[in-house]
C-alpha cells in the first residue's frame, strides 16, 4: 500500500455496508481519503462508520468483508443511508455531500444484488430489481458525480462489475446482463469525460468470499469453496487457476489502484480480478 496517497480526497462508495463495498471503504480510508459510505441498510453502514472512530489502524478486515468492530484510523468515514435506485435521493445525497463535506474526487459503485434463477423461471420483479440496483444505480450515482467532476476537470469513477459480464453463466442471466450494461455504460462515460480529465474504469471480480457468493452455496463452506476452485463441468464453469476464492480486500486493492494517481493514464479499462477464472488473454 502507498501510504496516504489519497490524502485530502473525498470519496463516495455505494454498497458500503458489507462485503466488497466495506473493503473498498477501508482501503480508501487507510490511504487517507475521507469516505462517504453509502448503503440502503442504515444499521450496517452506521456500524462501518463506527468502526473507524478514534483508534489506530489495526489491520485488514476479515475474509468475507464482514466488519469486526475493530476501530480503524486513516481518513474519516461518514455513513449515509440511501437507496441508489432512487434517482432523486441520489442527486440529493451528492448535492448534500458537496455542500457540507467538499468536492467529490472519487466515486466507487459497488452496490449490487443477485437473484439467481434459470431464465424460464426468472420473474419480472427479479429482473427489474436486478437492473434497478446493478445498472440504474450506477447510472444515477455516476451521472450525479460526473456533472460535478467534469466542471472541475478532475475525478475518478470506478464501477465494480463482474466477470459474469463477459462469460455466460447458468442461472445468472439477469445479474450478468445487468453487470454487462453497467460495464459498457462506465466505458462510454469514460469516453465522454476523457477530455475533462475524469477517468472511468471497471473492476470485475470473480468468485469472492462475500454473503452474495455464499447465497449460491448448497453445501458446507469448505466443500462449496472446493467446488468453486475446481470448477463445475455440469454448469459449464471452469475453476480458478490461482486456487483460491478472492477475499474482498483483493478487489478493494484493485479499486484503490485505479482511483490513485498511479493509474492516471488509465481510463475505460475493465480489470478482471478473478484468479484467472475466465482464462482471459
**CA 102 from centroid of its chain's CA atoms:** 22
pLDDT, tens digit, for every residue of 50-91? 998 753 333 333 333 344 444 444 459 999 999 999 999 999
The CB-side HSE value for 95 (13 A sphere, CA atoms) comes to 7
Q: Can you read off the three cell numbers belonging to residue 149? A: 467532476
pLDDT band at 3 (very low <50, low <70, confident <90, very high): confident
Q: What percent of the chain has pLDDT over 70?
A: 90
Does residue 222 surpass a pLDDT of 50?
yes
**Domains of the chain, earliest start first:** 10-51+74-273 (3.40.50.720)
pLDDT, tens digit, for every residue of 26-53? 999 999 999 999 999 999 999 999 998 7
The residue ranking higher by pLDDT, 198 or 65, is: 198
Q: Cβ contacts of residue 147 below 8 Å, gap of 6+?
A: none
The residue ranking higher by pLDDT, 207 or 268, is: 268
Q: Can you read off the three cell numbers belonging to residue 271? A: 480489470
175 in active site: yes
CB atoms within 10 A of CB 62: 15
* Predicted TM-score (pTM) of this structure: 0.91
Average pLDDT, the chain: 90
Sheet holding 34-39, edge to edge: 77-81, 34-39, 10-14, 104-109, 155-160, 198-205, 270-273
Q: What integer pLDDT is reported at residue 250 of this predicted model?
A: 97
Amino acid at each position: 500500500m502507498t501510504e496516504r496517497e489519497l490524502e485530502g480526497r473525498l470519496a463516495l462508495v455505494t454498497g458500503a455496508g458489507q462485503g466488497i463495498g466495506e473493503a473498498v471503504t477501508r482501503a480508501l480510508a487507510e490511504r487517507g481519503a475521507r469516505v462517504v459510505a453509502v448503503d440502503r441498510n442504515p444499521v450496517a453502514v452506521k456500524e462501518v462508520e463506527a468502526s473507524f472512530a478514534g483508534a489506530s489502524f489495526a489491520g485488514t478486515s476479515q475474509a468475507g468483508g464482514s466488519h469486526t468492530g475493530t476501530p480503524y484510523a486513516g481518513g474519516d468515514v461518514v455513513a449515509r443511508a440511501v437507496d441508489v435506485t432512487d434517482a432523486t435521493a441520489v442527486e440529493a445525497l451528492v448535492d448534500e455531500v458537496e455542500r457540507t463535506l467538499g468536492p467529490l474526487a472519487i466515486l466507487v459503485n459497488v452496490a449490487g444484488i443477485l437473484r439467481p434463477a434459470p431464465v424460464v423461471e426468472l420473474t419480472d420483479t427479479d429482473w427489474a430489481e436486478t437492473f434497478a440496483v446493478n445498472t440504474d444505480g450506477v447510472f444515477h450515482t455516476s451521472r450525479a458525480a460526473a456533472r460535478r467532476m467534469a466542471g472541475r476537470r478532475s475525478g475518478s469513477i470506478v464501477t465494480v462489475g463482474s466477470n459474469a459480464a463477459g462469460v455466460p453463466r447458468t442461472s445468472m442471466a439477469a445479474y450478468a446482463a445487468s453487470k454487462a450494461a453497467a460495464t459498457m455504460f462506465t466505458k462510454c462515460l469514460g469516453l465522454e469525460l476523457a477530455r475533462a480529465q475524469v477517468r472511468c474504469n471497471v473492476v470485475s471480480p470473480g468468485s469472492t468470499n462475500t454473503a452474495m457468493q455464499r447465497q449460491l452455496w448448497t453445501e458446507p463452506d469448505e466443500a462449496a469453496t472446493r467446488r468453486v476452485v475446481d470448477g463445475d463441468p455440469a454448469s459449464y464453469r471452469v475453476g480458478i487457476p490461482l486456487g483460491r476464492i478472492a477475499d474482498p480486500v483483493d478487489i478493494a486493492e484493485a479499486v484503490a489502484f485505479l482511483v490513485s494517481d498511479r493509474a492516471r493514464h488509465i481510463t475505460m479499462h475493465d480489470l478482471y480480478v478473478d484468479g484467472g477464472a475466465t482464462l482471459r488473454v
